[in-house]
Amino acid sequence: MADSVNEKELAEPAAPQPEQPTSPAAAGNPRQPDARLAIGLAALALLATLGLAWFAWQDSERLAATRQDLSRRLADSEAVQREALVGAKQDRVALDALQAKVGALDARAAEMQSQQLALETMYQELSRVREDRLLVEIEQDVVMAAQQLQLAGNVAAALISLQGAEARLAKNAQPQFLPLRKLLNRDIERLKALPGADVPGIAMKLNDILEAVPHLPLAYEQRPAPAETVKPPKAAKPGKPPAVPAATEAADLQAKPFDWQAIAQAWLADLWHEVRQLVRIERIDRPDPGLLSPRESLFLRENLRLRLLSARLGLLARDGSSFVADLKQADEWLERYFDTRAPAVENARATLKNLAKQEVGAKPVELNETLAALRNFKLGRDRGATR
């Protein structure tokens, strides 16, 4: 706008100035002041024109620079816009790709989550199966220990079974098994503190006596012990004189006569020895057992075996009174009906007397509480699984 105004001012000529009245002093040279004024005005107009031209030129330069700057900036902005459009398209493509990847990842995550749930379910089932198998094994160990205590009285075998069950629970190391471990440790301590007899050893000794019963000699079958006799010195028989050297035989016959008295004494001693063999007198400290038929002997041996078996049952049942009573009855039968001088009978009687002194009446440890706790624990787990 400033440039257009200046151009208009330069194009339009200056308006004519009104003529001023001339003074009397200037009347003699009327055109001199006008010329000076015109020159001044012309110079002033020239200067103004030059100033306006210079300002116009400066404005045009500024305008051209501004236009160039604007065009350059427009070009830059268009380039930036094009790059922005290209970047936006690329970002759109990348965003679509990322959205596709995110969708795939979501699907994969959902699949992995379902697989993880399936794996967790399988792991829980496997762990439950493993725990169930562990509980079954522990229950078998406890049942075996109870059977060893009740039937055989084998404290050592029962202790080994319980220690094995406790070791399995300790290896599993799960807190829900702590009550069972406490019960097993309590039973183990009770078995260790139990002063029981050697039931397996006593049963083996009873079995040895049972096997020897058919071969024990009876009392009526015994033979008298041979008497210790001192044989007289052998005398020379009439027909067989003692051997002497031939040189001294004639001298002896001439020196002393034939000894008939010594010959008679030797003959009487032999006769008395034979007579003593016909009659034997012995002293017995018990009544005569009498003769037994083969049938009665068989029944006697079988009754003795039954009595020993009853003693073994009393041993396994920890019934000390019946055990001792059966052993005493068996010992009485051995003393009454069997040959007490036979080594087999003597060993059997000595064994029975030693066994009767054993303390087998101790009450065995019961594992019913532990078995009930195991079964209740399994029942509770089964109910929790069904829910």
Regarding whether 202 and 298 lie in a shared domain, the answer is: yes
Regarding whether 297 and 215 lie in a shared domain, the answer is: yes
Of 149-158, 182-191, 228-237, the range with the highest mean pLDDT is 182-191
pTM of structure: 0.41
Q: Is 269 exposed, middle or buried (0-12, 13-18, 19+ CB in 10 A)?
A: middle
Beta bridge partners of 218: 338
Domain-embedded: residue 179: yes
Domain-embedded: residue 92: yes
**pLDDT at residue 285, rounded to an integer:** 57
Regarding whether 184 and 213 lie in a shared domain, the answer is: no
Q: Cα separation of 19 and 97, whole Å? A: 90
Regarding whether 317 and 218 lie in a shared domain, the answer is: yes
Residue-wise pLDDT tens digits, 193-240: 776 667 778 888 989 999 999 888 888 776 555 554 444 444 444 444
Regarding whether 118 and 105 lie in a shared domain, the answer is: no
Instruction: Say which residue the tokens 């007289």 belong to.
Output: 232
Regarding whether 176 and 81 lie in a shared domain, the answer is: no
Instruction: Say which residue the tokens 């049952």 belong to.
Output: 313
Regarding whether 180 and 87 lie in a shared domain, the answer is: no
Regarding whether 175 and 305 lie in a shared domain, the answer is: no
Which is higher by pLDDT, 22 or 313? Answer: 313
Q: What percent of the chain has pLDDT over 70?
A: 73
Domain-embedded: residue 373: yes
**pLDDT at residue 33, rounded to an integer:** 67
Regarding whether 190 and 144 lie in a shared domain, the answer is: yes
**pLDDT at residue 219, rounded to an integer:** 80
SS3 per-residue string spanning 193-238: CCCCCCHHHHHHHHHHHHHHHHHCCEHHHCCCCCCCCCCCCCCCCC
Domain-embedded: residue 271: no
Domain-embedded: residue 234: no
**pLDDT at residue 341, rounded to an integer:** 84
**pLDDT at residue 347, rounded to an integer:** 92
Q: By C-alpha distance, which of 59, 17, 22 is closest to 38?
A: 17
Residue-wise pLDDT tens digits, 229-275: 444 444 444 444 444 444 444 444 454 555 778 888 888 888 888 88
**pLDDT at residue 309, rounded to an integer:** 92
Residue 307's CB: how many other CB atoms inside 10 A?
A: 19
Domain-embedded: residue 265: no
Number of domains in the chain: 3
Regarding whether 320 and 340 lie in a shared domain, the answer is: yes
DSSP letters for 41-59: HHHHHHHHHHHHHHHHHHH
Residue-wise pLDDT tens digits, 321-348: 888 899 999 999 888 888 888 899 899 9
Domain boundary (109, 124, 153) is at 109
Regarding whether 373 and 318 lie in a shared domain, the answer is: no
Instruction: Supply the range of the domain harboring residue 356.
Output: 197-223+291-361
Domain-embedded: residue 229: no
Domain-embedded: residue 153: yes
Domain boundary (76, 109, 142) is at 109
Q: Among 91-100, 122-131, 239-248, where is mean pLDDT lowest?
A: 239-248
**pLDDT at residue 386, rounded to an integer:** 57
Q: Cα separation of 307 and 352, whole Å? A: 12
Residue 345's CB: how many other CB atoms inside 10 A?
A: 20
Regarding whether 185 and 213 lie in a shared domain, the answer is: no
**What's the chain's average pLDDT?**
76
